[in-house]
Amino acid sequence: MKKALSIQVFGLVQGVWFRKSTQEKAIELGIAGFVKNENDGSVYIEAEGSEDQLKIFVDWCHIGPSGANVSKVMSKQASIQNHVHFVIKK
């Protein structure tokens, strides 16, 4: 069964290829949605997939790419938007 999460990642997560790495991980896991930078320096993600896919994805968000230093990840259930792909939003 498909689920949706909204995820916010805090710490050193901009300027370290976090969005591109997030897109690559999402595609690898078969997750649809998007990732974008926020004005407060965090990264916002909407992700849709199975419970197992999303668990692996959120666990990855706690680490991120090698240059990132994640201090906090907040995730909550979201309504399904039926995203088809996983894209980077500007």
Active site residues: 19, 37
Among 72, 17, 15, CA closest to 25: 17
The sign one gets for the Cα dihedral 69, 40, 58, 66 is negative
* CA–CA separation, 11 and 73 (whole Å): 9
